[in-house]
Chain A
């Protein structure tokens, strides 16, 4: 699963979940009497596996470069988090800020764009029967199988041909395509947008596009947001595409920037970049996503339980 989610298309896979649940009308939830302390303890015993690297990251972020390699990895030594953070944000003239900005720019623009394109297309595929509609949809679905490398190199060459390599567009444009988002929105729109509502609007004399923008879009909002959030994550974590496309450090997203720092630190860059900066920078880079996920949790919760109430 390592590279699939880096393409905008496949990364939205998890979105199927809340969507399917929210869009479906069956629901229930039994009593909570079945809780088992034993099973809970068993599962909690497994959790360290998932949390260990993150715990390590937090611990390591408090160590300076020397301690990193001289103290036990899973426990604290002297706390140097503040000076590490200072290093991260001041290294190379504060380029880390630029990387954060780039990452935000790439992921927000890509996510909003991809979600919008996917919503419009998914809605059309779901709610209109039009010539070539089925054929087009099949082509879009089939494209999910295409490996990233099959595209990366020709895309790079084509972009080079039109002078798009090493521009911000070179990262954003390919991320706008989310075939899986289209698929999701088609499923979602089929359920969430009532055809009779559309008919009623038509009888009232509303134009088709107006119906989409003023009636359907509102109903599609939960699906839209889900596609948006997952494309956001996919672009935030994207490494391969910007790695290939970009060569100017000022345009790097966090992933490529951190990987570059890591190699700089490994190359012993005359004290300019340190392993401690890479580690602390990594921590900083995942904090926004972890916070987003905590917040997102509410969305799933809501999405899932809405379905539950209905059942």
Chain B
């Protein structure tokens, strides 16, 4: 009930909700404004000798992250490189941490060497050239081929690489098999079927809805747009941003939901509140359109419904389509002020790319893996949790991960974008009103903000 800020998505993102935290948007200090080209400080190519020398030198690294128990992976790293000491610091989750980071960067001291950053916030640190270009670092040369294309696009810009992916959130659908069966509804594969199912389901069980559309969850809505091939945002890395929320694909998504919302066929409760949480376990919502971190999250929160849930792909606008979007996930980036760029880059790479730590992250911390090798690993894909009636849930989301639309960009000020979603779209959803009109307003608000911040808006 007391999330401190209105951007719950950021925290869901990396964590599968293992640790809820007040995402107090302590973004008091805007990043330093060197302005100009969005290329972070660039790294000089590192020779293998330099690399070996760096890793054999006594070094201390500070690593900001809010992944619970990441010390496990860091311990493995230190066993491999005993001379490199890593200090793991939880400097807050999401916006909290970014604020601390911005403050430290502004003060010119206290910034970490390696820092967890969610995909959608990477570009906000490119404005101040705060992220080190890792492309020349040891082991980064063949990294691109190890990830799905869409994941790589999220961390790379032109030839530069700004972060190492840690986990992702390709979107799918979790639903209550028992409730749907009882209402005589089949799991929908298209949005048309979904709408029909919502109607049938609502008629069959008056106290329950097929799903909930939270009025505070920009991340989910943006994910739907992403799945539908929309490109609402773009940033050239310099001074120009593009905002297009009223384009065909984005509008189609909002029009679809407006239809359901206005006919009272979906619930409109804010998510991650106690009521919503109760709704999930009490069967008030028969499905949850969520991301790859959703299954583990749900397992922890709706224990009493174990065995009744199933996973499926996100419904489609075109029958037979498979495209989806991403909601959440994060990366580890190297901060450009680091005095030990080589060791820092290796830390970011090693714990996320090497097999042992990467498997641990996926199977012990339950972060949904970005690496192809883990996505194909049978010990990950083959899990058959009882909660999902023995279904290979990971397999469903691995498939989703292969179908995420490849080109999606963010604006360098997503916190404002999210909070204005709740302000503008939120009431339209709650009051079951004009969502399409609100969409246009939301776009205007974002554009106005961008202009006021000195961006050129396209």
A interface list, Cβ under 8 A from B: 66, 69, 153, 156-157, 160-161, 163, 165-166, 243-244, 247-249, 256, 259-260, 262-273, 275
Contacts and interface: CB of A to CB of B under 8 A. Distances in A.
Contacts of B109: 163
Nearest to A157: B28
Contacts of B2: 259-260, 262-263, 266
A275 B3 contact: no
Contact of B300 (A163, A244, A249, A271): A271
B4 A264 contact: no
A260 B21 contact: yes
B17 A269 contact: yes
B100 A268 contact: no
A266 B26 contact: no
B300 A268 contact: yes
16 contacts: A157-B28, A160-B29, A160-B106, A243-B22, A243-B24, A247-B100, A262-B1, A266-B1, A266-B3, A266-B273, A267-B3, A267-B20, A267-B21, A268-B300, A269-B17, A271-B301
A259 B3 CA distance: 8
6 nearest A-B pairs in the assembled complex, by CB-CB distance: A267-B20, A268-B301, A264-B20, A270-B300, A262-B2, A263-B3
B274 interface: yes
A161 B107 contact: yes
Interface stretch (B46-54, B88-96, B150-158, B395-403): B88-96
B8 interface: yes
B272 interface: yes
B18 A272 contact: yes
Interface string B7-38: 01001100011111110101011000000000
A48 to B, nearest CB: 24
A280 to B, nearest CB: 15
Nearest to B11: A267
B54 to A, nearest CB: 29
Contacts of A66: 304
A275 B272 CA distance: 13
Given A160-B103, A275-B274, A263 B28 contact: no
A254 B24 CA distance: 17
Contact of A163 (B18, B107, B280): B107
Interface residues of B, number: 44
Contacts of A153: 28
A196 B280 CA distance: 74
A268 B297 contact: yes
A260 B22 contact: yes
A6 to B, nearest CB: 16
Interface of B: 1-4, 8, 11-12, 16-22, 24, 26, 28-29, 90-92, 96-97, 99-100, 103, 106-107, 109-110, 272-274, 277-278, 280, 282, 296-297, 299-301, 303-304
Nearest to B273: A266
Interface of A is mostly: helix
Contacts of B12: 267
A166 B100 contact: yes
Contacts of A69: 274, 278, 282
B110 A163 contact: yes
B417 to A, nearest CB: 21
Given A262-B2, A266-B274, A267-B12, 4 more contacts: A262-B1, A264-B20, A269-B20, A271-B301
Contacts of B299: 270
A247 B11 contact: no
A247 B8 CA distance: 17
Contacts of A157: 28-29
Nearest to A262: B2
Contacts of A273: 20
Contacts of B11: 267
Nearest to A166: B100
Contacts of B99: 247
Nearest to B19: A269
B90 A263 contact: no
A264 B93 CA distance: 12
A88 B300 CA distance: 19
Contact of A266 (B24, B106, B272): B272
Given A267-B11, A268-B272, A269-B20, A259 B4 contact: yes
A34 B134 CA distance: 84
Contacts of A262: 1-2
A66 B106 CA distance: 47
Contacts of A259: 2, 4, 22
Contact of B297 (A243, A248, A270): A270
Contacts of B19: 264, 269-270, 272
Contacts of A161: 107
B4 A266 contact: no
Contact of B4 (A249, A263, A272): A263
Contacts of B300: 268-271
B44 to A, nearest CB: 31
A264 B21 contact: yes
A161 B28 CA distance: 12
B180 to A, nearest CB: 22
B20 A265 contact: yes
A243 B18 CA distance: 22
